[in-house]
């Protein structure tokens, strides 16, 4: 019996990234539904739960993606509401890599910080996208004081509220309209995590290199120019100017391992719900 | 050579239900086209008939689905018009399970009625959807006097006209705005078939239990609460209060066998046209 | 590792023709994206280049199709811009068979003309579609004097400009509103190539049969009535009324071989760019 993955994607085009990883992680076929909204979900999910007998339900699973984190959250809610009794399949949420990339970065950061970020200050630049929201939330949940930055103040405030509602903890927000302001924003920080878009440099070298107190810096942008000047994509715990550095591919290799392990996990049973916390837990069992 | 199934679906999202069943019935790959309208069909079907040599055309087939029965009928017409000479592939119409579910219910009903429904009265509640339209049509064609119900009088009249145009026979319509009116509507009926939507209770127990003359009751809704109060989803010919009962899963298991046999049939030759009558004929050869 | 083909299609429905051929040419799975515009391309292509390690990138490739040639050209540009350094995959452009069908027709024509069309006159009827644009361009590039016809003068002028900009050479245009005008248009021509739409007869027998100087006539329409009256779909170098004739299936069989060879070529390395010239080169190595 084929392992079938239903891809519910909130964006106009379903993520090709998620499709490639799903195939490589063992899905036999992907049933791809783009531009999905919450009212669409019930019928789509019923197509999964009413077609194969209870013993075989673990061979079908649901993957939720897309560029919008809150849309992803809403689709996950709708999918869980469509289940009832034994009529359910495993489901994973990972809007734009939100959970797998965020977890990979967070685990790298925590390990580089000696296993604990409680009480430390973390700055997440461009923290309003899916990965930033999830990473900030997991770090806040782990006891760090997290500051996210955003180019637009209302977006930042909305992101902060969403993170605290979902994960609790302490989250602050700074409106950052110019890369020149980053240095000031990093004052007192032990950790820098850049979640800015592909090909945009948000942090100049002068802002972070040899900065007193800064221990870890992570850049998740793989497309030149780098988001954090001076960090190489392949950096995976490299010491540069007194700071332990991680680049997009250094984190990305671990993200891939987490992403694939999570997909494989979906087909182990029919009742898994993989979101930030459960994927974080899964990642702890992996080296990377 | 891979068995390829082109899924032409009239709805905004292609049916996941139909995709899962197609894979389980032996399709190697599904080429899924949602939101298809009749003018789109020719090019899509030409992609099937001009790509593989005549000897190999039986390895490609077309499945037509979607939530709207008349849209499905129009797509089937358009597909048949796109064929010419030996340039054709097998095609199956099953908008929202219209044909396979309807046939499963009708065969169960006829068998439970001793092999014949001629002259008997059948009430099909919520009979304006794809399954109701097809079931009512097949029963009318078999000689039953069929009464469909609808919440909206114009929908009911339109459905009755469509059924009689397509299948002939005698079809009446009742506007039913309240579940309390069902009992009256069932007067004189030997068979009750509920085709109402998921999770909506249309027939209360008092309306059907121990009703004089009523022999068979079928509920096609699998999502709680049941559409016919007192019928369990797994009922498959269970006697309850003097009535032989069938629930959504009891019928559904047979529907699955029919659906899969029909998909497999598509790949036996390049010239099958599977619609209500031919699927009904196919189902007669199956136990269930 | 599965061979994955990303289908970027500019039309509202992704081409089924291209999907069937891709499966038959060895693609394991197709990731199909319809209604793609240039701004969509970067994220979709990044999904291909960031998911598998450099050694494995040759197992993913991009196919660009759709009904609109200029849209296809723009998608190819966008895809190439999304590559950087070793982060790239092979890509093929074939909007509506533009390159593979055009190349098949052109190679057939050149071979039937003794290996050279330099200085000869070629008329391409309905030459403003993807296949006509590419065939006219390749023939002009090979030194022929090419005249395309169009029902609408502005379309013809736009097509001529696009061909000359892309391929150089000499291209003329004639506005042809009536099949009766075709004879006059063919005066002095050695080659006739009809690229008109399915089921439309553009050239009557009297216009081409026994015409002095005319050596080769090709009809690419496979749907009755034939586009060039008197040419049979299976003609593959048949002499009729003094002219060497090729029909849609005669050319189509060669087109299929070229199309499949090109798809297979995509998975040989991660750096192929298959457009008119490179597909023409590939086709020279094939018999047909």
What is the reported pLDDT for B180? 84
Chosen from B31, B38, B87 to mutate, greatest number of chain C CBs within 10 A: B31
Residue C158, phi then psi, degrees to nearest 5: -65, -40
Query: Is the pLDDT assigned to residue A288 strictly greater than 80?
Result: no
Arithmetic mean of pLDDT, B90-103? 97
Inform me whether the C-beta atom of residue C187 falls under 8 Å from chain B C-beta atoms. no
Question: What residues of C are in contact with residue B81 (Cβ under 8 Å)?
Answer: none
In 3-state terms, what secondary structure has residue A94? coil
User: Which contiguous run of DSSP H or E holds residue C42?
Assistant: helix C38-49
Q: What chain C residue is nearest to A14 in terms of C-alpha separation?
A: C33
CA distance A65 to chain B (A): 16
Query: Is the pLDDT assigned to residue A40 strictly greater than 90?
Result: yes
Inform me whether the C-beta atom of residue B13 falls under 8 Å from chain A C-beta atoms. yes
Share of chain B above pLDDT 90, in %: 93
Residue A183 to residues A202, A228, A244, C215, Cα–Cα distance (Å)? 11, 12, 18, 76
Domain positions in chain C: 4-97+255-287, 101-251
For residues A136 and A138, give the distance between their C-alpha atoms in angstroms, rounded to a whole number: 6
B13 → closest Cβ in A4, A44, A52: A44
B17-60 per-position pLDDT tens digit: 999 999 999 999 999 999 999 999 999 999 999 999 889 999 99
Report ipTM (2 d.p.).
0.93
A233-282 per-position pLDDT tens digit: 999 999 999 999 999 999 999 999 999 999 999 999 999 999 999 999 99
Q: What residue spans of C83-152 are helical by DSSP H?
A: 98-112, 130-141
pLDDT band at B177 (very low <50, low <70, confident <90, very high): confident
For residues B226 and B232, give the distance between their C-alpha atoms in angstroms, rounded to a whole number: 7
C256-267 per-position pLDDT tens digit: 999 999 999 999
Share of chain A above pLDDT 90, in %: 94
Query: Is the pLDDT assigned to residue C245 strictly greater than 90?
Result: yes
A175 token code pair: 């409106």
Would A4-97+255-287 and A101-251 be classified into the same CATH topology?
A: yes
Q: Do C16 and B2 touch (CB under 8 A)?
A: no
A21 → closest Cβ in C33, C42, C51: C51
CA distance C48 to chain A (A): 6
Give me the architecture of the C4-97+255-287 domain, per CATH. 3-Layer(aba) Sandwich (3.40)
User: Which contiguous run of DSSP H or E holds residue C174?
Assistant: strand C170-175
B226 token code pair: 């049941």
Q: What's the pTM?
A: 0.95
Chosen from A41, A44, A48, A50 to mutate, greatest number of chain B CBs within 10 A: A50
Whether CATH 2.60.40.10 fits A101-251: no
Peptide bond into C28 cis (omega under 30): no
Nearest to A48 by CA among A34, A63, A38, A62: A62
CB within 8 A of B30, min separation 6: which ones? A29, A31, B4, B5, B6, B7, B19, B22, B23
- Helices (H) and strands (E) in chain A — how many of each? 10, 12
Question: What residues of B are in contact with residue C16 (Cβ under 8 Å)?
Answer: 6, 31, 33, 43-48
Question: What residues of C are in contact with residue A65 (Cβ under 8 Å)?
Answer: none
C23 → closest Cβ in B29, B43, B50: B29
């Amino acid at each position: 019996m084929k392992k079938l993955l239903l891809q519910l994607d909130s964006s106009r085009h379903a993520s090709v990234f998620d499709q490639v990883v799903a195939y490589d992680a063992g899905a036999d076929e992907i049933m791809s539904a783009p531009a999905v909204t919450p009212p669409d979900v019930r019928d789509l999910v019923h197509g999964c739960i009413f077609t194969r007998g209870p013993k075989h339900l673990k061979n079908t699973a649901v993957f939720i993606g897309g560029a919008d984190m809150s849309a992803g959250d809403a689709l996950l809610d709708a999918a869980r509401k469509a289940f009832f009794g034994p009529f359910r399949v495993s489901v994973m949420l990972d809007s734009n890599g939100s959970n797998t990339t965020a977890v990979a970065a967070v685990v790298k950061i925590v390990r580089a910080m000696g296993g604990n970020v409680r009480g430390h200050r973390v700055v997440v630049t461009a923290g309003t996208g899916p990965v930033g929201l999830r990473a900030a939330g997991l770090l806040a949940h782990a006891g760090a004081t997290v500051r996210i930055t955003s180019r637009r103040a209302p977006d930042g405030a909305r992101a902060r509220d969403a993170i605290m509602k979902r994960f609790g903890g302490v989250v602050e927000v700074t409106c950052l309209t110019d890369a020149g302001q980053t240095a000031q924003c990093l004052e007192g920080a032990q950790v820098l995590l850049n979640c800015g878009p592909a090909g945009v440099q948000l942090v100049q070298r002068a802002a972070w290199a040899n900065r007193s107190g800064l221990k870890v810096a992570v850049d998740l942008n793989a497309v030149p120019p780098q988001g954090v000047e001076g960090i190489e994509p392949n950096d995976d715990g490299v010491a540069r100017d007194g700071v332990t550095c991680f680049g997009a591919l250094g984190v990305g290799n671990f993200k891939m391992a987490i992403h694939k392990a999570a997909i494989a996990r979906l087909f182990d049973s029919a009742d898994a719900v993989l979101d930030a916390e459960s994927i974080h837990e899964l990642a702890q069992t992996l080296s990377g």
